[in-house]
Structure 1
Amino acid sequence: VYNGEIYNFPELTRELQKKGHPFRSRSDTEVLLHLYEEEGENLVYRLNGIFAFALWDQRRRRLFLARDRFGAKPLYYTLSNGRLIFASEIKALLAVKGVEPRVSLEALNEYFTFQNLFSDLTLFEGVRILEPGHLLTVEDGKITLKRYWDPLFQDRGWSDEEAVERLRTVFEQAVRRQLVSDVPLGSYLSGGMDSASLVAVASRSIPRLMTFTGGFDLSSVSGLELAFDERKDAELAASTFKTEHYEMVLHAGDLAWSLPRVIWHLEDLRVGMCYQNYYIARLASRFVKVVLSGVGGDELFGGYPWRYKVIQECRDQAEFDQRYYRSWTRLIPDEEKPSFFTPEVWAVVKDHHPFEAYRQVVEKARGLDPLTRALYFEAKTFLHGLLVVEDKLSMAHSLEARVPFLDDELVEASLTIPSRLKIQNGEGKVILRKAMRGLLPEPILKKKKQGFSPPDASWYRGESLEYVKKILLDPKTLERGYFQPASIRRIVEEHLSGRVNHRLLIWSLLCFEWWNRIFLEGLDKEGFA
């Protein structure tokens, strides 16, 4: 059972045919079977792609599950009545008799700390996600988990010139490798360097490449959020590379219609706001079946320089952990949790400290310099959350999202480039910017990082205010027993007054309420707003 794409399957097919393996198709799925016959579970080391698969070895009475290096394709599992049940969607697990949807309070605490899950927990009690770069085997009634890949940073001592030349070469190869498709293929184009770089290379091979951009209605927006609409930059790139360009504009009212649908597809809450991803995927799906995404460029090349300021002068690991953990506390600080959670929930979760989930990840990067340690952590946590969102919300529209920045050869090249060449004087992605010079217009190369995020801080105080109140201040919401009602009222009031920007927290509370209505109460699509 297989979900994904193996980009080096033609080479693997030829190699296996020379060894006498007969092929009945031209499918990358069949390659997995023959490669397993040759190499057993070591086949995962040969695969350049995004995948989740399960293979039953009848002779050995052995089940073998695998997930790609960074977790671009999801794979969930649970144990019920002595059975291991696995699927690409949690809804499939819930359809099995005996698997009941219940909230995991430990995961809830972790999510409302990081706005993400760093461990293998999900919001569903007893349901786990197979971690990226891991194998799971079942043999003789015993379940074994094994990590087969982890980012290994090895400074090769590249000069600037050597790193630039190597990076540009492997980047262009990675993009071209992922252009092979039997169906129409396009690319997202945000106006930033990552997606524009993909388009620069792809447009050489695909004349009139279709590109897709999302923008926002800024008529009621103020402050920093006025920079959130990147359509002008995207249009510059589209004009430069002569693409067939399509745009959409999101308005504040689009949240109410999309949010329950987003949660139904997402199932497990992850990083940041993402209903804009749902809409841009819907736009792209009207024209193509495969789309290139720039996800991964920031995490591999240091695209979040503001996050690194707090750790650059740390004297030791303890100070690093204190500062960095605090910087990733995006929602509720630990000291505020007793007044945020109800006493009943707090009594359960207070001994399950989210710092442990953080520590288990960052522990593997001890010995690295602070910046490289941060890049490792982001690749293992934030990137995984982004990939889960990317896959779920693109597949909601039968759209396959490919991530060329996570091509194996490009990743390996990035891991040999030291952090001093990636981040300099508070500027991120320095080496990538140098490698893309000559491919991209200078305004895009010089453009500061801007995430694809709606201006919800303003919208929650304006057009979306009544929707926020309708959902979060509903007596049913306030009386669920997870959060103290006074705390929810205070959060809404503080944001409305402008005293505190609670945009991330309000989004997460809205998502969790819809999660309850859909998965615990059984609200079906007919009942969505």
Structure 2
Amino acid sequence: MCGICGIFNLDGEPVPHGHIKSMADELAHRGPDDEGHYIDVNIALGHRRLSILDLSPAGHQPMSSEDGRIILIYNGEIYNHLELKVELEALGYQFRSRTDTEVLLKGYEAWGLDVIEKLNGMFAFALWDSPTRTLYLVRDRFGIKPLYWTKVGKTFIFASEIKAILTHPKVSTQLNPEALNEYFTFQNLFRYHTLFKGINLLQAASIRWISEREGDLKRRTWWDYDFTNRDEGMSEEEAESETLRLFRQAVIRQLMSDVPVGSYLSGGMDSGSIVAVTATQIPRLSTFTCGFDLSSVTGREANFDERREAESISCHFKTEHYQQVVNASDVSWALPNVIWHLEDLRLGMCYPNFYVSRLASKFVKVCLSGAGGDELYAGYPWRYYRVFDAIGRDHYLRQYYEFWQRLVSDQDKPKLFTEDLWRYVRDKDTFRTFSRVFTFNEGLKYDSPEEHIANSLYFEIKTFLAGLFVVGDKLSMAHGLEERVPFLDNDLVDFAQRIPIRHKLANLEKINRFNENETRKLRRYKAFGEGKNVLRNAMSSLLPEEILNRRKQGFSAPDESWYRGEALDYLKAILLNKRAAYRDFLNPRFVADIIDKHVAGKNNYRLLLWSFLCFEWWCKIFLDGVRPDSMDAR
């Protein structure tokens, strides 16, 4: 795991060494072990290395081919690199290191860009083909590793993180109003732009290239999720046994490392299953949990602390277990640094991720995460059932769009934004942005409940999980920690997409027979299980029954209660400040009204309040230029 960056002046202007050095320095937290630069007049590449495989200088980057014609900078892990190395050796290639970087480099020499489709792993890389004077940027099929880019005049700039791009003197920091509108609708971005005007996220499973001769940026995608080719003849037994086999294979594949490997551990099935397999391979495995101080918490959030369940799993598998306890005041200390590292605002409360990653980084350099299990195996049934009775495509999209307006509804946006900003974005249709996600797969159908659920899986894995990957990468790499996701293994994903919906969601036939005119349908739907049926049965040989049957609990702090109590003073101090930076874009009266309604218990606005806090710190840090290390976070 590393940080990469580069500058390509298409007009032939030489790149000053100081420019690429400044970009790489801004990525030092991603790669504290080594630094390297390559400059060839108008092209410059920078690399910061976090040494995971082959810790020797042989893994130094940028890495060049033996004839010096191909230069590679690479961030990620290729889990099948040893198999590919055998293929390449059979073709006559020789290796001077044990790195997957060299396998990728020689793979390009042997197969060209076709090498990408052979890779099983997470990666983002840039490759300079000197003979053709062409720069290629590539991102893994799932989009686990980030890569951002911008083009200013005749200068093309890219990096693993936006903050590195911002160091270039030609780049100015401006807010992207369309992205802000999208963020305050979905608490996510469904297009590949960012809050930074002109700076984009490279699409997952895509290649972008630009040549000195042509100067135009080109793109092609080489893979996409597809839940439409389900094998309806597959039995439950086959689905369960093959899921277990491929899951074991995926976890063991992702244990390759020359440094210590640990695992996050909640009280749930996904991380517990990873620990179950990993503990058979790593004696005295280190595991890490984040819990919460619930002394002032009431209601449903009183069950948000999973430390007891995590300890139970740890004891069962004899792991060396560490815990981080977060309290209501911790958000104020962490938030400036969280936003500095996250930059690309996504999803809900993520400061617990920041704390547990920091904890893990004190003991290991690689940590396994359970992300992806819910999206592959239908772990959010209360979402799917909202569109279960949809009639046709338009009805489905409208119903699902209503649910995914997580923060501010379309009718409230004139009150949210300042008059100037609303005048700019009012014609930017976020429903069209939402609907566009479904157009990437022309095979989607909308004629049955099963198809609606399959479409929902497709949407959520391309959007919600993609947001989780941004959060996971940025907040783990903030501490020089590599986060791996065993559920996102090529073979496991390919098989999981083929499993019939009826095996993933229990009692699907009974739900099909519901009278859609009856009241309280959603409550009835929830009584039919929590999804991931086939995964739960597959893991029955790995985990204790009480873990398998435990009600699903998301990884979230009890912020609803804290924002009404212990954290309320902080909330008001930041958001009701008359000099707050967000006031240039958001209406402070709307913000104050949301705080009042939340405190009064009229609604639970914890997600929106979190996003207000995040955006305020984003404005301070990136628009006002206040670095976290110079802030009083309180």
TM-score with structure 2 length normalisation?
0.82
Amino acid at match of 1:215: G
Q: Residue 582 of structure 2 contacts residue 619 of structure 2 at CA under 8 Å; is this kept in 1?
A: no
Alpha-carbon distance between aligned partners in 2 of 1:509 and 1:44, rounded to the nearest angstrom: 40
Once the two structures are TM-superposed, the CA of residue 271 in structure 1 deviates from its matched residue by 1.1
Alpha-carbon distance between aligned partners in 2 of 1:118 and 1:526, rounded to the nearest angstrom: 31
Alpha-carbon distance between aligned partners in 2 of 1:385 and 1:149, rounded to the nearest angstrom: 19
**Size of the alignment, in residue pairs?**
529
Once the two structures are TM-superposed, the CA of residue 479 in structure 1 deviates from its matched residue by 6.7
Alpha-carbon distance between aligned partners in 2 of 1:526 and 1:180, rounded to the nearest angstrom: 35
The match for 1:83 among 143, 148, 155 is 155
Residue of structure 2 equivalent to 1:286: 362
Q: Residue 472 of structure 1 contacts residue 478 of structure 1 at CA under 8 Å; is this kept in 2?
A: no
**Equivalence map 1:61-72=2 (5 Å):** 61-72=133-144
Residue of structure 2 equivalent to 1:241: 317
The match for 1:144 among 180, 203, 218 is 218
Once the two structures are TM-superposed, the CA of residue 122 in structure 1 deviates from its matched residue by 0.4
Once the two structures are TM-superposed, the CA of residue 42 in structure 1 deviates from its matched residue by 1.6
Alpha-carbon distance between aligned partners in 2 of 1:182 and 1:385, rounded to the nearest angstrom: 29
Once the two structures are TM-superposed, the CA of residue 429 in structure 1 deviates from its matched residue by 0.3
**Equivalence map 1:122-271=2 (5 Å):** 122-139=194-211, 140-153=214-227, 154-156=229-231, 157-271=233-347
Amino acid at match of 2:344: D
Q: Which moved more, 1:359-368 or 1:247-256?
A: 359-368
SS of aligned partner of 1:100: coil
Quote the RMSD (CA, aligned, Å): 1.1
Once the two structures are TM-superposed, the CA of residue 424 in structure 1 deviates from its matched residue by 2.0
1:397 aligns with 2:479: yes
Once the two structures are TM-superposed, the CA of residue 457 in structure 1 deviates from its matched residue by 0.5
Residue of structure 2 equivalent to 1:319: 395
Amino acid at match of 1:475: K
Alpha-carbon distance between aligned partners in 2 of 1:166 and 1:478, rounded to the nearest angstrom: 53
Q: Deviations over 1:328-375 (max 9, x none)?
A: 110000011011111110110011111122111122342260000000
Alpha-carbon distance between aligned partners in 2 of 1:370 and 1:518, rounded to the nearest angstrom: 41
Once the two structures are TM-superposed, the CA of residue 527 in structure 1 deviates from its matched residue by 2.2
Residue of structure 2 equivalent to 1:109: 181
SS of aligned partner of 1:51: strand
The match for 2:531 among 422, 428, 441 is 428
1:351 aligns with 2:423: no
Q: Deviations over 1:108-147 (max 9, x none)?
A: 0000000000100100000000011111111321211211
Q: Deviations over 1:371-394 (max 9, x none)?
A: 000000011000000011001000
The match for 1:33 among 105, 108, 114 is 105
1:371 aligns with 2:453: yes
Larger radius of gyration: 2
Residue of structure 2 equivalent to 1:520: 623
Alpha-carbon distance between aligned partners in 2 of 1:176 and 1:118, rounded to the nearest angstrom: 33
Residue of structure 1 equivalent to 2:596: 493
Alpha-carbon distance between aligned partners in 2 of 1:316 and 1:183, rounded to the nearest angstrom: 52
TM-score with structure 1 length normalisation?
0.99
* Unpaired stretches in structure 2, ≥5 consecutive residues: 1-72, 508-527
Q: Residue 188 of structure 1 contacts residue 291 of structure 1 at CA under 8 Å; is this kept in 2?
A: yes
Residue of structure 2 equivalent to 1:3: 75
Once the two structures are TM-superposed, the CA of residue 525 in structure 1 deviates from its matched residue by 2.6
The match for 1:44 among 116, 124, 133 is 116
Q: Deviations over 1:153-208 (max 9, x none)?
A: 22122100111111100000000011111111110000110000000000001111
Residue of structure 1 equivalent to 2:372: 296
Residue of structure 1 equivalent to 2:489: 407
The match for 1:503 among 598, 601, 606 is 606
Once the two structures are TM-superposed, the CA of residue 466 in structure 1 deviates from its matched residue by 0.5
SS of aligned partner of 2:580: helix
Larger RCO, structures 1/2 (Cα 8 Å, 6+ apart): 1
Amino acid at match of 1:237: I
Q: Which moved more, 1:358-367 or 1:97-106?
A: 358-367
Once the two structures are TM-superposed, the CA of residue 152 in structure 1 deviates from its matched residue by 2.0
Once the two structures are TM-superposed, the CA of residue 524 in structure 1 deviates from its matched residue by 1.3
Runs of 4+ in 1 over 3 A off after TM superposition: none
Q: Deviations over 1:72-118 (max 9, x none)?
A: 11000001121110000101110001101111000000000000001
Q: Which moved more, 1:476-485 or 1:128-137?
A: 476-485
Once the two structures are TM-superposed, the CA of residue 315 in structure 1 deviates from its matched residue by 1.2
Residue of structure 1 equivalent to 2:8: none
Residue of structure 1 equivalent to 2:405: 329
Once the two structures are TM-superposed, the CA of residue 480 in structure 1 deviates from its matched residue by 2.6
Amino acid at match of 1:476: R
Q: Deviations over 1:302-331 (max 9, x none)?
A: 111111111111111111001101111100
Q: Residue 582 of structure 2 contacts residue 616 of structure 2 at CA under 8 Å; is this kept in 1?
A: no
Alpha-carbon distance between aligned partners in 1 of 2:298 and 2:440, rounded to the nearest angstrom: 42
Q: Residue 265 of structure 2 contacts residue 271 of structure 2 at CA under 8 Å; is this kept in 1?
A: yes
Alpha-carbon distance between aligned partners in 2 of 1:490 and 1:152, rounded to the nearest angstrom: 43
SS of aligned partner of 1:182: coil
Alpha-carbon distance between aligned partners in 2 of 1:265 and 1:525, rounded to the nearest angstrom: 10
